[in-house]
Amino acid sequence: MAPVSPKQNALRRTWIGHGILILTSGLVGGLLASTFILGGLEIYPGRFINFQLPGTESGWLKTHTGPISNSMMVIVLALGIPHPGWANVGFYFFANFSPNRGMAYGPSQIGPANVFSILALGPTFVTNLIALVTLVRLGYTAVFKSAAKNNKEKV
């Protein structure tokens, strides 16, 4: 890995820290998934507090696995803005409380919308657009600028 400035190193540490916190939210999602599946929380063997979380089993399992995947992406990239990972974490959690699974701002064929639909989709949509543009620029720079640099070095 090429040497980096102290500012870049601090940014990388911040990204890795966000990745670890996002990973932790995935573990909380796993606890909530098991709580949904069991229909409550087991305090100690045989002693349950019965309640049912809203959403679906599939939604809560995604709330567990989605943030874990995002955390790995953030940690591995450790290059830019940490917010896309957090927006996706919000999506996974808020979508469980949205009748249309956070897939639309308004009513759709999946179901009606509520405030959780907006909370799920809004930040994710904006930050994923930013992430898409950023990743395309990073990829372009890595491929084409590196090739141009290598060609200059050969001359």
Task: Kindly list the domain boundaries of the chain, sorted by start residue.
Answer: 6-154
Q: Is the pLDDT of residue 146 over 80?
A: no
The pLDDT score that the predictor gives to residue 147 is 64
Name the residue with tokens 């540490």.
13
The pLDDT score that the predictor gives to residue 153 is 64
The pLDDT score that the predictor gives to residue 61 is 93
User: Using an 8 Å Cβ cutoff, are 92 and 66 in contact?
Assistant: yes
Give the Å distances, CA to CA, from 28 to 18, 63, 85, 130, 149.
15, 9, 16, 27, 46
| Cα gap 29→26, rounded to integer Å | 5
| Cα gap 125→132, rounded to integer Å | 10
Full-model pTM: 0.61
The angle that helices 57-77 and 6-38 make with each other, rounded to 10 degrees, is 170
pLDDT-derived band at 79 (thresholds 50, 70, 90) equals low
The pLDDT score that the predictor gives to residue 82 is 47
